[in-house]
Amino acid sequence: MARIVMKFGGTSVADLDRIRNVARHVKREVDAGHQVAVVVSAMAGKTNELVSWVQQMPKVAGASASFYDAREYDAIVASGEQVTSGLLAIALQSMGVDARSWQGWQIPVKTDNAHAAARIIDIDGSELIRRFEMGQVAVVAGFQGIGPDNRLATLGRGGSDTSAVAIAAAVKADRCDIYTDVDGVYTTDPRVEPKARRMKKIAFEEMLEMASLGAKVLQVRSVELAMVHKVRTFVRSSFDDPDAPGMGDLLNPPGTLICDEEEIVEQEVVTGIAYAKDEAQISLRRLADRPGVSAAIFGPLADAHINVDMIVQNISEDGSRTDMTFTVPSSDAEKALAVLAGQKELIGYDVVQSESGLAKVSVIGIGMRSHAGVAASAFKALAEKSINIKAITTSEIKISILIDGAYAELAVRTLHSVYGLDKT
Ligand code: ASP
Ligand code: MG
C-alpha cells in the first residue's frame, strides 16, 4: 500500500468525457489498495476565460498599477477548480469509489497575502489523512488556498502543480503524479527537435533549471517545493489508456521521475536544452563605476515587478565608467525602459540601448560540475552554424546563451545534437 497524490491539468479534465477518463486512472490506484488524493486544475481554457472577464470589467477610479482588486480576481478565477473537483468526485462516486471534493479553505491550504500570486505557507494534512484511513478519496481544487485575511487566494498561473506537490509533502505521500497532455519531460521541446527523447529520470535541480528556462511542463514553484521536501514527482500522461499494462506500476510507471540526484545512477553531463523566446536586451552605456550603481538600477526594476535575467557588467576600462547589460522578457521591455528613464539622474548613465526579439538557449546538466569543456563545445557548435552570441551567463549546472530570436530553433537542434542527446 502506498500513498499517492495524483494531479490532473486542464487538458486532462477538458470535458466530461475526459473527467470520466481521469476517474478511471484514480480508480486503478484505489483498486490497487493505495491511499489517494487527487488535485485538479480548471477545465482547459476556463482560467483564461475567467481572467479575461475580470479584465473586461471597468477600472476602479483611482486604482493604481493593477487595475482590478486582486481579492476579487481570486474569488473569480478560483471558481474553475471548484467545478472540476465536484465533477470528478461525482464521476468517482458513480464508479463506486468513495470520494469527496475539497476546496482550498476546507483543508485548509494556508497562503500568504499576495493575492493572485500567493505562496503556500502551511497545509494541515490531518483531515486528509483521516479520510485516507476511512478509504475515501479526496478530490482537491488546485491553485487555491486561504489567506490570512480569510479570503480565497490563488497561487499564480499554473499553480495547481504547486498545490499537488505541497499536499504530497503535507500528507507525506510516497509519490506525486502530475498527469498532463505530454508523457514526460523531454531532452528538449519535441516540436523544435523531433529527435528529443523522454527522460527516465531528471534531478530536482535540473528540472528547476528546465522549468525556469522555458520548459513549461511544471510551475517553477512546484519544482522548488518538490526539491525542498524531496517529493518524488512523476510527469506522465492522462491520455494513456488508464488500464494499459504497467500503468499502475508502483516503482516504474511510464513517465519521467523528478528525484534526488542520488537516485540517478547513470548521470549524463548534459541532460537537456531549454529555450525562451521573446527576450529583450537592455544596455546602459557609460555609467559611473562606483558602489550603489547596480542597486540604483535593479532596485527600481524589482519594485516594478520586472523579472531581470542575465546581468552582465563590463570591467571598467578607465576605472570610472562602465557598461551594464541585462535581459528582460520582451513584454516588460517598455516598462523597464520607462523605469530607467525615471532614474537617469540617480543612476547616471549616458545612453540606453535596447533590442527585442532575442532568444535565450540554455544547456543544463548536473554533470557539468565535474566536466570541463562543456561550454566550449556549445560555443564551437554555434560558431559553425554562424550563430552570433550576444551574452553568456553560467552557473554550476547551466550555460545560458543569448542569440537572435530567428536562430532559436537552429541553436536548440545544434546543441541537442552536440551533446549526443538525440542518440538513444
Ligand atoms: N487553472 C490554473 C491556470 O490555468 C491553475 C493550473 O491549471 O495549474 O493557471
Ligand atoms: Mg499546468
| Chain center to CA of 364 | 16
Q: Specify the ligand 1 atom closest to the Cα of 157.
A: 9
Q: Is the domain of 25 the same as that of 54?
A: yes
Query: Residue 401: phi, psi to the nearest 5?
Result: -125, 130
- Assess whether 229 and 294 both reside in one domain: no
pLDDT of the residue at 212:
86
Residue minimizing CA distance to atom 5 of ligand 1: 158
Ligand 1 in contact with 159 (CB < 6 A)? yes
Going from the Cα of 144 to the center of ligand 2, the distance in angstroms, rounded, reads 14
d(CA 412, ligand 2 centre) in Å: 23
Question: Ligand 1 in contact with 85 (CB < 6 A)?
Answer: no
Q: Going by DSSP bridges, is the β-strand pair 35-40/137-141 parallel, antiparallel, or unpaired?
A: parallel
Domain limit, last residue, from 200, 227, 261? 261
Q: What is the pLDDT of residue 66?
A: 52
CA of 266 to the centre of ligand 2 (A): 29
Please indicate, yes or no, whether residues 147 and 59 belong to a single structural domain of this protein: yes
Question: Closest ligand 1 atom, CA of 161?
Answer: 8
In-domain check, residue 20: yes
244 and 277 belong to one structural domain = no
Residue 423, domain member (yes or no):
no
Return the closest-CA partner of residue 137 out of 238, 8, 235, 330: 8
Ligand 1, pocket-test mutation among 160, 167, 218, 238, most atoms within 8 A of CB: 160
pLDDT at position 67 is 60
Last residue of a domain, one of 241, 261, 281: 261
Whether the CB-CB separation of 163 and 142 falls below 8 Å is answered with: yes
What was the pLDDT predicted at 279? 96
Residue 371's CATH number? 3.30.2130.10
Q: Quick one: 227 and 305 in the same domain?
A: no
Domain boundary residue, one of 261, 284, 302: 261
Residue 304 in any domain: the answer is yes
Query: How far does residue 118's CA lie from ligand 1's centre (Å)?
Result: 13
Ligand 1 lined by 80 (C-beta under 6 Å)? yes
Q: Are residues 128 and 201 in the same domain?
A: yes
In a domain, 55, yes or no: yes
Is the CB–ligand 1 distance for residue 41 below 6 Å? yes
Query: Residue 353 is inside which H or E element, if any?
Result: strand 351-364
Q: Are residues 405 and 292 in the same domain?
A: yes
* 26 in a structural domain: yes
Residues 303 and 393 in one domain: yes
Q: How far is the CA of 219 from the centre of ligand 1 (A)?
A: 10
Q: Which residues hold their Cβ within 5 A of ligand 2, which is an ion?
A: 9, 158
**Given this model, what pLDDT does residue 214 score?**
76
Quick check: is 266 in a domain?
no
pLDDT reported for residue 213 = 83
**Nearest ligand 1 atom to alpha carbon 10:** 7
Binding site membership of 162 for ligand 1 (Cβ less than 6 Å)? no
Note whether 256 and 326 are same-domain residues: no
Instruction: List the CATH number of the domain containing 117.
Output: 3.40.1160.10
Task: Look at residue 267 and tell me if it is in a domain.
Answer: no
- For position 371, what pLDDT does the model report? 92
Range of the domain at 45: 3-261
Residue 98's SS3 state is coil
- Render the burial of 53-85: b for 16+ CB within 10 Å, e for the rest: ebeeeeeeeeeeeeebebbebbbbbbbbbbbbb
Claim to verify: residue 254 and residue 276 sit in the same structural domain: no
Are 16 and 182 within 8 A, CB to CB?
A: no
Name residues of the chain where pLDDT drops below 70: 60-67, 424
Q: Phi and psi dihedrals of 153, rounded to 5?
A: -135, 140
50 CA → ligand 2 middle, Å: 16
Q: Is the dihedral of CA 367, 371, 376, 377 positive or negative?
A: negative
Q: Which residues, other chains included, contact 81 with Cβ-Cβ below 8 Å and sequence gap of 6+?
A: 40, 41, 42, 141, 142, 143, 144, 160
b/e map 27-50, b = 16+ CB within 10 Å: bbbbeeebbbbbbbbbbbebbeeb
* Residue bearing the CA closest to ligand 1, atom 6: 158
Structural domains counted in the chain: 2
Q: Are residues 98 and 9 in the same domain?
A: yes
What pTM did the predictor assign?
0.91
Closest residue by Cα to atom 8, ligand 1, is: 158
* Secondary structure E strands in 103-181: 109-111, 120-123, 137-141, 144-146, 152-154, 175-180
Residue 424 in any domain: the answer is no
346 and 379, same structural domain? yes
